[in-house]
Structure 1
Amino acid sequence: MNKRIEELDYIRGFALLGIILVNMLALLQIGIPEPHTIDASYQRFLFLFVEGRFYSIFSFLFGVGFYIFLTRARSKKQNGYVLFLRRIVILFVFGMVHMFFQPGEALAVYAVCGLLVLPFFKVNKHVNLAIGMMLLVVFAVMGEKLLLTFPLILLGLVCGQYRIFENLGEKRRLFIFTASALIFSGFALYAQYQLVPYEPFFSMIVIDEEGPIDAVSKFLRAGIMVGPVLSAFYVGLLLLLLQSKIIKLVLSPLKHYGRMALTNYVGQTALILLAGRVFNLSANLSYMGTLYICIVICAIQMVFSMIWLRYFKMGPLEWIWRVITYWTIIPLVKEK
């Protein structure tokens, strides 16, 4: 378990690409696009294929990391529970600071859910799988995105217990999983697409005064309901692609991007707000304009991550997180 699982870094980097696309809308308070424009089409694309899908992946990966951290601590004869509690406390602090700038941030939520999932670490993996799947279905049907975080993290823990990522060489099982997820995703997307509002909309769920849910909210809640299915397909497809050495090499910037996931996640917020302030983007930025800005920010962060990791062992926030977790100064600069 001591060897770093590179596929997890690729998936983290991939998840960051989707998260920024949606976070940009809220951070810069992008208005409703004009009907029958490319902006309106892009809005539909985001809420069919992106919103909630990459957050689910990020949540799941936190659960996987949770398992790996505790398992490695135990193998080194360390008190994993004390270290983990210290780890989630500093994550919560990061999250609360980040929340001042990004109200929809996830780190504080992960810290709370990490504390709730901790007792499940020693529970039988089959029991955890049953509980995780049951809660995932219930919360998905309820359309509660925030509540989905807990079962997603628990299912990440379950994948760690089943050692899924240590056995990725079993391509047949991976292909069957991805093909099944694709089929279910097709049905899920078709069902959500039937609810697509005719006009562009605000990206929030609203209940009117009489109580019934409006058309936009039905569409958005359906997106929350089917989100984990698409997330599973995205992860399966990426893992299949990574079986090719050529594709793995081409996608290698994602690996560096994902190795510094905490730094880059918080950095996305900083760069978005900086761009908005410097170029006064909030006043006239379109939906498609947010896409172009996101591409530039991700490119900058990927290049920065590759250069940084050439000289340092981990990202700056990752280093601070680790120093406080272990309460000791850990060398950051790579030895020549």
Structure 2
Amino acid sequence: MENPKANKRIDVLDYIRGFALLGIILVNILALLHIKIPDPLTIDASYQRFLYLFVEGRFYTIFSFLFGVGFYLFITRANAKGKKGHVLFLRRIAAMFVFGILHSLFHPGEALMVYAICGFITLPFYKVNKHINLAISIILIIIFGVMGIKVALPLPLILLGLACGQYEIFEKLKQKTKQLFIFTVIMLILSMIGLYIQYLNMPEQPFETMILLSEDGPLDQASKFLQIGVTNGPIISAFYIGILLLLLQTNIVQTILSPLKYYGRMAFTNYIGQTAFILLFGRIFHFITNLTYVQTLYLCLAIYAIQILFSVVWLQYFKMGPLEWIWRMFTYWQTVPLRKTVIKENHVQNHGGL
């Protein structure tokens, strides 16, 4: 008899994925549409500061962490079904790498190729003791964070997600509400300290959205501000996850935020779809270089509405998103049924869902 844990979906992970997608697009759109530096003392300048205090470096870290959790769950569940989990995972990240190459043609600096490479590097850690994985990941996150090396952070964040998967953190949340509350309060305090320090280093004028390293002298004010933001990133991300998980302990919040769950279940489709919508609207309506910072927010809200509605409707009739379906066929190297059936739905209802 098949292990029921091999199929059980962890809904809170889909909520978090959806939440991460909401933040990622707010920053990605700036580069994709080549948004110019805002004028001083404008609402656009204020919005830029908001983004680089509360959004930039906060949501890609969540996505990296979730990739690590999913990495552990995928191999564990494949093994529980009697399949070769490591082999399937290698196919999975190889397909992700190919998707990443194609995506990078339209979105330079996209994350899929990075995740695929990091997944390959961290694969041996699947069999390493969970305490060791936790210690290594936290130490590397602190080192890379303090040094402000943003490009290096996905690797330890994925390893941290793997360790949390080993600890079965998300399967036992109902039993650990008190510990979750304490964790969230600690992360809130640390986040407030970090944000205060970053705020003290905020440039007086609007700034370039990249860290410019100087070999001949100290970092300029904007670069110092952004580098501190890299350091704060994992801490603030941890607070965001903690507060969301606490809110999801109540059924009413789960119901209110349920569209976010569907959005997250199709995270792969929606992540690439964000790029497609941004570039499509940019071409059709001549938005490239012509939008202000605040106007990009309005466009993001429109894309949210389209994608969330599409996700909710699509998943009423299909088991997974369209790109998830293609990805799964590459992984298992066989055709996979996409459309839901009445028999399957009745089976799910009778057995408490997947």
TM-score using structure 1 length: 0.99
Q: Name the CA distance, whole Å, in 2 between partners of 1:70 and 1:253.
A: 28
Matched, 1:44 2:49: yes
The structural deviation recorded for 1:207 is 2.5
1:77: Cα distance to partner?
Answer: 1.3
How much has 1:244 moved relative to structure 2?
A: 1.1
Matched, 1:224 2:230: yes
Given candidates 83, 96, 106, the residue that maps to 1:91 is 96
CA–CA separation in structure 2 for the residues paired with 1:207 and 1:180 = 32
Alignment equivalent of 1:147, drawn from 149, 152, 155: 152
CA offset digits 1:282-330 (Å, max 9, x no partner): 2320000000000000110000000100000000000011011011111
Counterpart position of 2:324: 318
Distance 1:209 1:71, change over 3 A: closer
User: Does 2:256 correspond to 1:261?
Assistant: no
- Matched AA of 2:149: E
Distance 1:148 1:54 in 2: 12
Cα deviation for residue 209 of structure 1 reads: 6.0
From 291, 296, 314, the counterpart of 1:308: 314
Are 1:334 and 2:347 matched, yes or no?
Answer: no
After TM superposition, give the deviation of residue 142 of structure 1 in Å: 1.3
- What one-letter code is carried by the residue in structure 2 that aligns with 1:247? V
**In structure 2, how many angstroms separate the alpha carbons of the residues matched to 1:220 and 1:235?**
22
Tell me the equivalent position of 2:349: none
2:242 counterpart residue number: 236
Structure 1 residue 133 corresponds to structure 2 residue 143:
no
| Native 8 Å contact 2:36 2:289 kept in 1 | no
In the alignment, which of 280, 283, 286 is matched to residue 280 of structure 1?
A: 286
1:38 maps to amino acid: I
**After TM superposition, what 4+ stretches of structure 1 lie above 2 angstroms from structure 2?**
207-212
Check if 1:6 corresponds to 2:11: yes
* Distance in structure 2 (CA, Å) of the matches to 1:210 and 1:150: 30
Cα deviation, 1:122-159, whole Å, max 9, x if unaligned, reads 00000111100111111111111110000000000000
> Which of 128, 142, 146 matches 1:123?
128
Quote the residue 1:165 is aligned against. 170
Secondary structure, in 3 states, of the residue corresponding to 1:166? coil
| 1:140-188 deviation per Cα after TM superposition (whole angstroms, max 9, x unaligned) | 1111111000000000000000000001102111111111111111101
2:320 and 2:270 mapped to 1: Cα distance? 12
Could you tell me which residue of structure 2 aligns to residue 197 of structure 1?
203
How many angstroms apart in 1 are the aligned matches of 2:227 and 2:109? 17
* Partner Cα separation in structure 1 for residue 204 and residue 30 of structure 2: 20
Q: What residue number does 1:293 align with?
A: 299
* Paired residues of 2:317 and 2:340 also in contact (CA < 8 A): yes
| 2:348 alignment partner in structure 1 | none
Contact 2:61 2:154 in 1 (8 A): yes
- Please say if 1:111 is aligned against 2:95: no
